[in-house]
C-alpha cells in the first residue's frame, strides 16, 4: 500500500531491471532482450501475462521457471464465456512450460492440477497480511450495541463485486431493523454510493484504522488468487464472513456469507455477538494456519529449487 519492500526481500541484494511491457509485442521483445543479456538461475513470473511471456520464451531451455498466477484469468466473471474458455485453453497449452507452479493459495493449486500440471510440480507459497497483527479484540462488545459496522477492503471493481457487498448489507438491514448497519468500503471507488461510505484509496495506516472501526469484515470478491484483505482483517482480530469462491476451498460453511449470515443475525439479535465472534475467529485461525515471512521464505526456496 505504501511501496515498502515485502519482508521476503529483507537482507537480500535486489536490483531492478526495467521491462517495457506496454503491449504484448513490446513485452515479448524486451523480455527476449533481458533474457539474452543476463543469466538467471530462476525466473519467477507473477500473474497471467508475464507467466505466458516467460513460458513461451523459455520453452526448451534449462532455466528454472516458476509461475504464480495470482488468480487464473479464466476465473474472471466479467468477461464472456468464450474468452474464459480461451484463457483456460492457453493455460492448458502452457502448463508444461513452468518448472513449478507456486500457487498463492490452496484453491489456485487445485486449479493448476485441473489444468494437468503434475502434483510434484505444484506448491503453495502463502500470501501474508500487508499489515502487522493488531490488538485482538471484539470491538462490538465495547461499542454501541445498536450499531453494527461492516466493511469490505478492495478496489470498487467487478472483481471485488461491490453490488454483492451492497446486497449482503441490505439483507442485514432488513433482518435487523432495530440495529443501524453502517457499511464502509475501504478503497478506491465512487465519490458516493447508496447507503455505504467509500473511503477512497487508503495508505497502510489508514487501512488499519478503518478496519479497527469495524465489527465484522465481509469479503465479497467474485474471484481471487488468495485474498490478502482477509489476512489483514484476521490480523486485526475481526470476525469474517467470506463469499464461497474457488480461492477458498473447504471453507467452513459457518464463516461464509452464504451460510454464516444467519448465525451473525441471530447473535446480534440475542446479544451473543462476542461468543459468535470468538468462534468465528478461531475457525479462521485454523483455516488460515501459520503465515509469517519465515514460512513464506521457506516455501519460496522450495519453489525455486
- What is the per-residue pLDDT across 130-149, written as a single tens digit (0 to 9) for each? 887 654 554 554 556 789 99
Confidence of residue 5 (pLDDT cuts 50, 70, 90): low
Span 276-304, average pLDDT: 93
Which residues make Cβ contacts (< 8 Å) with residue 223, sequence separation at least 6? Answer: 71, 75, 76, 77, 159, 245, 246, 247
* Cα four-point dihedral sign 208, 212, 213, 216: positive
- Please check the confidence at residue 278 and state whether its pLDDT lies above 80: yes
pLDDT at residue 268, rounded to an integer:
95
Q: List beta partners, residue 124.
A: 103
pLDDT at 229: 96
Q: Closest Cα partner for 298 from 126, 81, 99, 183?
A: 126
**Global confidence as pTM:** 0.90
pLDDT band at 39 (very low <50, low <70, confident <90, very high): confident
Cβ atoms 202, 176 nearer than 8 A: no
193 pLDDT band, cuts 50/70/90, is: confident
Query: What dotted CATH number matches 139-288?
Result: 3.40.50.2000
DSSP 226: S
Q: Cβ distance 135 to 255 under 8 Å?
A: no
| pLDDT value of residue 134 | 59
Q: Which CATH number fits domain 12-128: 1.10.1760.20, 2.40.10.480, 3.40.50.2000, 3.40.50.720?
A: 3.40.50.2000
Look at residue 1 in the predicted model and tell me its pLDDT: 41
Query: What does the pLDDT average to over 75-83?
Result: 96
Task: Locate CATH 3.40.50.2000 in the chain.
Answer: 12-128, 139-288
pLDDT score for 92: 95
- pLDDT greater than 90 at residue 191: no
Rounded mean pLDDT of the chain? 90
Question: What pLDDT does 10 receive?
Answer: 65
Burial of 80 (C-beta count, 10 Å sphere; 0-12/13-18/19+):
exposed
- For position 149, what pLDDT does the model report? 96
Residue 7 pLDDT: 59
Kindly indicate the confidence band of residue 61, based on its pLDDT and cuts at 50, 70 and 90.
confident
pLDDT of residue 112: 97
pLDDT band, residue 11 (cuts 50/70/90) = low
pLDDT per residue over 197-206, tens digit each? Answer: 999 999 888 9
Residue 2 pLDDT exceeds 90? no
Of the candidates 77, 254, 70, which has an alpha carbon nearest to the alpha carbon of residue 161? 77
Listed residue (78, 266, 244, 232) closest to 151, CA to CA: 232
CB-hemisphere CA count at 13 Å for 74? 15
Amino acid at each position: 500500500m505504501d511501496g515498502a519492500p515485502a519482508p521476503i526481500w529483507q537482507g537480500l541484494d535486489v536490483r531492478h531491471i526495467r521491462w517495457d511491457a506496454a503491449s504484448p509485442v513490446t513485452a515479448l521483445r524486451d523480455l527476449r532482450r533481458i533474457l539474452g543479456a543476463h543469466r538467471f538461475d530462476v525466473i519467477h513470473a507473477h500473474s497471467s501475462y508475464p507467466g505466458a511471456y516467460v513460458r513461451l520464451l523459455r520453452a526448451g531451455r534449462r532455466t528454472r521457471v516458476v509461475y504464480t498466477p495470482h488468480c487464473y484469468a479464466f476465473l474472471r466473471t466479467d468477461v464472456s464465456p468464450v474468452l474464459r474458455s480461451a484463457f483456460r485453453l492457453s493455460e492448458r497449452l502452457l502448463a508444461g512450460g513452468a518448472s513449478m507452479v507456486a500457487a498463492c493459495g490452496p484453491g489456485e493449486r487445485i486449479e493448476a492440477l485441473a489444468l494437468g500440471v503434475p502434483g510434484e510440480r505444484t506448491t503453495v507459497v502463502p500470501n501474508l497480511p500487508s499489515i502487522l497483527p493488531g490488538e485482538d479484540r471484539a470491538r462490538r462488545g465495547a461499542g454501541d450495541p445498536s450499531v453494527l459496522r461492516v466493511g469490505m477492503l478492495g478496489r470498487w471493481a467487478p472483481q471485488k463485486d461491490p453490488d454483492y457487498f451492497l446486497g449482503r448489507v441490505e439483507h442485514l438491514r432488513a433482518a435487523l431493523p432495530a440495529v443501524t448497519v453502517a457499511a464502509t468500503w475501504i478503497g478506491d471507488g465512487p465519490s458516493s454510493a447508496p447507503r455505504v461510505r467509500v473511503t477512497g484509496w487508503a495508505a497502510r495506516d489508514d487501512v488499519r484504522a478503518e478496519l479497527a472501526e469495524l465489527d465484522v469484515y465481509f469479503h465479497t470478491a467474485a474471484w481471487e488468487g488468495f485474498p490478502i484483505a482477509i489476512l489483514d482483517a484476521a490480523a486485526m482480530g475481526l470476525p469474517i464472513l467470506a463469499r464461497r469462491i474457488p480461492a477458498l476451498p473447504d471453507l467452513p460453511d459457518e464463516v461464509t456469507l452464504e451460510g454464516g449470515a444467519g448465525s451473525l443475525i441471530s447473535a446480534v439479535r440475542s446479544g451473543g455477538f462476542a461468543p459468535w465472534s470468538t468462534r468465528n475467529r478461531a475457525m479462521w485461525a485454523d483455516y488460515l494456519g501459520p503465515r509469517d515471512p519465515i514460512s513464506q521464505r521457506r516455501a519460496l526456496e522450495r519453489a525455486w529449487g
